[in-house]
Every structure is written in structure tokens, then in C-alpha cells.
Structure 1
Amino acid sequence: MAPIVPRATLDSLAHPATAPGGEALHFESQRIDAGVLGEDDAPTTYTFRWCNQGRKPMIITRVETSCGCARASFSKAPVAPGSCTEIAVAYHPKGRPGYFQRKIFVYTQLSDKQPSAVLELTGRVTPSVLPTAAYPYVMGSLRLKQQAIRIAGTRIQTERIECLNAGEQPLAIRADSRLLPAYLRFECDPAVIEPGKRADLVIRFDPAQAPQTLPRQLPVMLEGLQLPPGQRSLRILIGAQE
């Protein structure tokens, strides 16, 4: 049985006492309602603007959030009295349907243990209309059920990787033929994946075209995705599973 945490302890974590002098950070609003977001939406950034109403420069030393789905960015440059700046918080809705209430704890040179201000981001995420949970491997808007296949290397073999276009634009997925050996062929079936539709990435192996000694694995670099090479490659494992 999980230990029972006293209510007073829970309340102090959700509503911590702020550092003395924290009132110098004057926010236009300490709470932003994000409204309704879709689980398939790209991360949205919200801005908390504040001004230094104190008599000394203020420096934000760190910003913590109550969930990794809310990611803050800010400047550590001193903010002079009377000057203003902002804290940007990006919310990532993927995998988090339902109502959300995230706390943002702003720390300054006033205290390393107590936040100088506590902000709040709220909203609601509607569930995905696409079955993206069944496709755990992400390459931009292309989602895959797996990112590697195994080929015996001794017989003609065809393997398929089921994928889904979770984006809003058609995808024409190809393989970089310069990196593909003669004994491997790649195609996408169908050649163009419409938004919200499924497809198969097909890899065919022909032993008649293969050398006697095969590598243990090979990368297949996909084209048609606006991603760095390391984020758009499949792995072909060759030989019996060890």
C-alpha cells in the first residue's frame, strides 16, 4: 500500500510559500487559460510577462514546472527596476488528454528554496482522433509500429512496417538509393500517404544479389521527411537473432 501523504504536505507542494521580496515580480497575469487543445496539436507556447517593481535588479535563476509537458524558457539577464521581460511556457499535449492544471515555479536570487512567484497554466486536451498510441516510433508526422526489421539473409524475404501519417500534409516516403545495396529494395505502399491514412514500408531482400558475407545490420535512410538523418532511419538486422 502506498504511504499516505498528509494533506498539509500536499498543499505546501502545490501552493508553496513565496520568497520575501517576491512581490517585486509583477506579472500581467499569473494564470493563463489555454482553452481547448487537441492531443494531435503541435506544442503551443504561452507568455507570462512581468515587470520589476522593486528597487534592485532581479535575476531569474531557474523555472520549474509541475510536469515535463510544460517546458519553460527565459533569460537569466538581470532585469533592472522598471524594466519588463517574459517567461515562455510551451505545452506539449501529446499523450495527455483531459483537463490540465500545471504550476510554474519561478526562482530568483531572493531564494534558492522558495519560489519568488507561482504561475499557473490550465486548459483541456481533447483525445486524439488518430490511433497514434499504436505507432510508438515517431519521425515527425510519420508514426511507425516498429523501427527495425530482421532478415535471415539466406532466402528471398519481404518485410513490412506499418505506419501512419499523423500530419496534415501527404507524405511521399522513399529511401536514399545511394545508401541502399543492390540486394535490398524499398517501397512505400501506397507511394503517397494521405493525412490520417496508414501505409506499409516494404523492404525486399534478394540473396542472389547479395555478397557471401553480409553486415549484421544496415541503416535505411528515409526521404520525404524534414528531419535530420539520425531521426529518419530504419534498421535492418541481418542473420539469426542472438
Structure 2
Amino acid sequence: MKTLKLSLFAVAGMLMLSISAFAQQATVKKAGPAPAAATPAKPAQPSEISWKEDSFDFGTIEKGKPVSHDFTFKNTTKQTILITDVKASCGCTATNYTKTPIKPGETGSVTATYNAANPGNFSKTVTVTTNDSSVNKVLTIKGKVEGGDTPAPVQKS
């Protein structure tokens, strides 16, 4: 009798497992293939926006006088472009950019303003993100800041 009970429990357990496995298969067939895991990811496409330039050299500038440069671009895609984010590499560079949608054939701009507070060479970047691509555009400004205030000569008596 004990053997019969164990056999019934074993059969009942196997029946439950097979019903569970069948239910999982039916759910997978209804849902279809896994979208991200089963299909390979597309490689990141470079942007088709045409930038006039991606680097600007201010040359030698005066300490204490901020300088700005407009980086312009033309939307050469077939879709409307929107700049979604612009980030400067440091707090010494301020940015401004076209915030309205840019239709195909239209132009937009990103302005980088460098605060020339410290003498010496500088090279700063501004990263632009758009809805066009997963690849960000990196713009560079560089130059040299001349020391501004020079101390007065020390007079000896």
C-alpha cells in the first residue's frame, strides 16, 4: 500500500510538471520571439547632419574676456531634427543651441562660450545629442589665454 501511495504521488508530480512545461511553451508561442535577445543589435549609425566645422581655434585671447563661437549645421536628413542635449566638458564653457525642430534643408547652431579666466592653453569639448542618431557629435574649441593683470614692478629704495 505504501508503494502504491508513493507511485501515485510520483505520477501526480510528473503530471503537474508536464502541465507546467506545456503552459510555458504555449505562452512563448503566443508572445513570439524575444525581440532584443533573439535579434542582433543594429550598429550605431553616424549622423547625417552636415556640420560646417567641428573644431574652432580662437587663437590668442585676453584673460577676463569670454569668447564665443557658433557651430552651424544643415539638416541633410529626410526627417526633422531636434537637439535633445548639449553638454560642455567643464563649467568654464557655456552653451546655447537651436531649441526648435530643424526641418530637412534648414540650419541650426550650437554656440560655445569660453570664460577666459585662467591664462594658458585650453581645449574644451561640447557634446551634442540629437534625435537623428545614437552617435553624439563632439565639437571642440581651443586657444590660448594671455595673462591679463601683470603685477606692477617692485621699486627699490
With the shorter chain as reference, the TM-score category is 0.5 to 0.7
Q: How does 1:158-237 map to 2 (within 5 A)?
A: none
C-alpha deviation, 1:69, in angstroms: 1.1
**Partners of 1:90 and 1:59 in 2: CA distance:** 21
The reply to whether residue 32 of structure 1 matches residue 47 of structure 2 is no
Aligned mate of 2:81, from 35, 49, 58: 58
**Partners of 1:58 and 1:128 in 2: CA distance:** 42
C-alpha deviation, 1:53, in angstroms: 1.0
Aligned mate of 2:138, from 118, 123, 132: 118
The reply to whether residue 105 of structure 1 matches residue 122 of structure 2 is no
Structure 1 runs (4+) deviating above 3 angstroms are 19-22
**Partners of 2:109 and 2:82 in 1: CA distance:** 12
Runs of 5+ unmatched residues, structure 1: 1-18, 132-195, 197-242
Q: Are the equivalent residues in 1 in contact too, given 2:47–2:132 (CA < 8 A)? A: no
The letter for the 1-side match of 2:146 is T
Q: How does 1:16-95 map to 2 (within 5 A)?
A: 20-40=44-64, 42-94=65-117
TM-score normalised over the length of structure 1: 0.42
**Partners of 1:22 and 1:78 in 2: CA distance:** 19
The letter for the 2-side match of 1:49 is T
**Partners of 2:123 and 2:139 in 1: CA distance:** 10
**Partners of 2:89 and 2:135 in 1: CA distance:** 13
**Partners of 1:81 and 1:20 in 2: CA distance:** 21
Q: Are the equivalent residues in 2 in contact too, given 1:59–1:76 (CA < 8 A)? A: yes
Indicate the structure (1 or 2) with the bigger Cα radius of gyration: 2
The letter for the 2-side match of 1:121 is I
Q: Are the equivalent residues in 2 in contact too, given 1:59–1:109 (CA < 8 A)? A: yes
- Residue 47 of structure 2 aligns to a residue in which SS? helix
What is the RMSD computed on CA atoms of the aligned residues?
2.1
Structure 2 equivalent of residue 143 of structure 1 = none
Pick the structure with more helix per residue. Answer: 2
* Relative contact order, higher structure (CA 8 A, sep 6+): 2
Structure 2 equivalent of residue 129 of structure 1 = 149
Identity %: 25
Runs of 5+ unmatched residues, structure 2: 1-42, 153-157
Q: Are the equivalent residues in 2 in contact too, given 1:74–1:86 (CA < 8 A)? A: yes
Q: Are the equivalent residues in 2 in contact too, given 1:65–1:103 (CA < 8 A)? A: yes
Q: Are the equivalent residues in 2 in contact too, given 1:25–1:117 (CA < 8 A)? A: no
**Partners of 1:116 and 1:45 in 2: CA distance:** 21
The letter for the 2-side match of 1:33 is D
1:102 to 1:62, Cα distance in 2 relative to 1, 3 A? same
Q: Are the equivalent residues in 1 in contact too, given 2:45–2:135 (CA < 8 A)? A: no
Pick the structure with more strand per residue. Answer: 1
